[in-house]
Structure 1
Amino acid sequence: MDDSKGTVNRSLLWLLSVSICGTILVVGILGALTSFWFAFEEARDLQDDELREIAQLVSLDEKNAISSEAHPPVDDEPEMRVWVIRIPKAGGNVSTPDLSLTLTPNLSDGLHTVGSKGESWRLYVRTVNAGYGLAVAQRTSARDEIARDSALRTLTPFLLVIPILMVLVALLIRFLLRKVNEVSEEVDRKDDTDLTPILPDSVPAEILPFVTATNKLLGRVKSSLQHQRQFVADAAHELRSPVTAMTLQLENAMAVETMPEAVGCRLAPLGTSLVRMRALVEQLMMLAKLEASTPASPQKMDGKSIVVETLGEVFPLADSKSIDLGLVVGEDIVLRGSEHDFRALARNAIENAVLYTPSGGKVDVRFYRDADMAVLEVEDTGPGIPEDQISRVFDPFYRIAGSGQVGSGLGLAIVRSAADRLGGRVSLLNNHISPGKMGIRFKYIQPLHQH
């Protein structure tokens, strides 16, 4: 489920962020270029207006006319100067050696762009009288530099706003899509013990169809599991009576004194198989009861006394295999939950360890308090479990190949089911006792003071 959630986040969140931020970037660039062009053209129009105003000022009186031979004052930026040139109506071209600018006398009034000796000039020509006219000139390169500097200043807001807007949009998308992550996490937390529907009250309308479809799927899965568990419970119940009857008949047959020894030897394996079948039926019924029933209201129980009693029930099996079964308990610990569930958990955990520990081995049981947790540990000197199979041993009917034991593969499945109902968690770890010697450490942790 984690991988699926990551895919959803990458596709939906990434797609929205990239598409919206990309749109902002493209529109922002187009807007910046458009603003730059308008500002550039507006600056050039203003410069043309300046040329017109200068021409009006110096042409008010003939005495104010400036000769082309007048030597302009020196300044720091000669390229930025505006030149006022007298153009006689009679005669040839007007040449200004200082400016390398040549003007023809037949220029019409108005704005002109003139090229002269490798330079471009912007002129405004105005006729003063029948004898002469005025040309107000400025280098085009200087005008463009001024216009360009003015237009570039209009780009500053875009350069600041676009990245800020992209970051804000990405944050807003992540914030607004948090409900999708919440729904994903809620579904991810569910297992076969929690198939309650997702509440659609606070779900956005856009993902409501997805939530509705998920709730329908959860309903179908819940119904399927209920039918499966009911089938297992019914099958176990139906098998119990004939298995019990066959066991009694076999015991009666074995008790006949006149039975030939050869027949008794033939019937002995049948008895072993019936014992195993009877244990399997009992475990099936226990697992079906744990999974099918609704968890009852938590009740207080004495965890220490239950562990001690359970150990006494398993002791005959350990004694028959000469296994050293030890118990270390601390203070009395009051648990909350179903006593039946905790008893089933403790019994199957201890019994499973005894079953898979070779004869002459050792099984240690510890029950103690660790801060606000109750801890049950069962440590054995069995053969251990391959690392790639540890996560599977809690599955029903899963047995490790080559173990040589006659178990049914239901013990740890019962333990996990009971732990889920009690609100605790279980774990298995290989315990390296010594070089060449392996064991298993089972650990169950349940929070105390549960409400």
Structure 2
Amino acid sequence: MRSLRRRLLLWLLPATLLAGLLASAATYWGALSELDEVLGDQLKGIGQHVVVDENNRVSLTGLRQRDDDRMSGEQSHGVLLQIWRGATQIFSSDPDSILPPPVGTGLADITVGGQLWHSFVTREGDVSVRVAQQRKARWEAVAEIAMHLFWPVLSLVPVLALFLWFGIGYGLRPLREIAASLKRRDANNMQPIYTAAMPGEVKPLVDALNDLLHRLDNAFTAQKNFIADAAHELRTPIMGLGLQAELLERASSAAEREEINAQLRVGVVRLARLSEQLLTLARLSPDAQLAEDQPFDLCALARSVVSDRSRVAEVNDVDLGLVEGTPLIVRGNAENVRILLNNLVDNAIRYGGSHSRVDVVVHSHEGRPVVEVRDTGPGIAEVDLPRVWERFYRGSGHAASGSGLGLSIARRIAEQHHAVISLERGLDGRGLTVRVCFPGAPADLAYAATAH
């Protein structure tokens, strides 16, 4: 399992160490230029305090006498001292160091045997005093300074890692508290997590969790209500079938048994349709995603639905027809839209009554595909309009049987396709029109459909 603390530590520790090294490097380069000036002044100071008497004896006035190993010019803290009378060397603190006679005064760099020397020369009469130091000796001094600069940074890495480890752990404590709070909850506790004391970085996560808990609470509530309503709706037809079965056992004549069998068949068909619609409604939950999202021709789909339902319309003595124009492309799940149209056409046939007329009209309105199911039936009473979208609501004044799920299923499918479904007046100013307006199809799909 990946650790957020370890991941933060792997990012923060190298970044902090790099910042420390960069700061030390900047200090180092600044100190390097200063060191050249300081060591140059040191050479000047030593050269100006050298005194040579008439007997060629050398003394250092105002300076502490140095050890012999520090007067070679090859040590990081040492310098080479030479006294010249004319072109003759009369004194050298390191006889092994062979430098040519000085030709001028002041600071100068000379190269002897592939080694660079920094030197300072003073002259009084025919006596020249040279104080010199090898370049590599200065680099040794610089290396010592670098060690003093970088060693504290490196030595602080374990301490820094420890502080970062516990600091990150302290910063992640709100996440552990959220996890512990959720772990203590039971399945029925969907209360939002308190966010007032949460850090700003954690609050978006908690807000998302609260939104999820809210949606889960709504889904569980809808599921409980659906199960309760379904159990209530299924109880009546099941009890009816049980009673018809008991009556069938007591039937005394063939005619009576045939009548009971007919009622049983009607009850089984009604129960099968109710079960099918319940399963469809359960599958079309508000948060369910479309199983398939493909373009299809709404006119061809409506033509297929009218053809399938024509036999039902004929049995119920209903005039079912289709009014269509050019192909209209809709993007979505064609099978779900077929269920929508089947429910609307079935409702119109069932509630329109015999000798009624049902038209399925497919057209375009302001660039949006529209399908309408119009009938000349009794329509829906004004008092029932606010509740017709509710599950299992059948309204008043209708003799036809039904489950009260058709419009609810149609509305769910319309919402899945971001379509608008509405109720209007039917044919000839009476009856009912159910209008479904789909989103406009992309231009390339519409062009392809027209060309085809």
TM-score, normalised via structure 2 length = 0.47
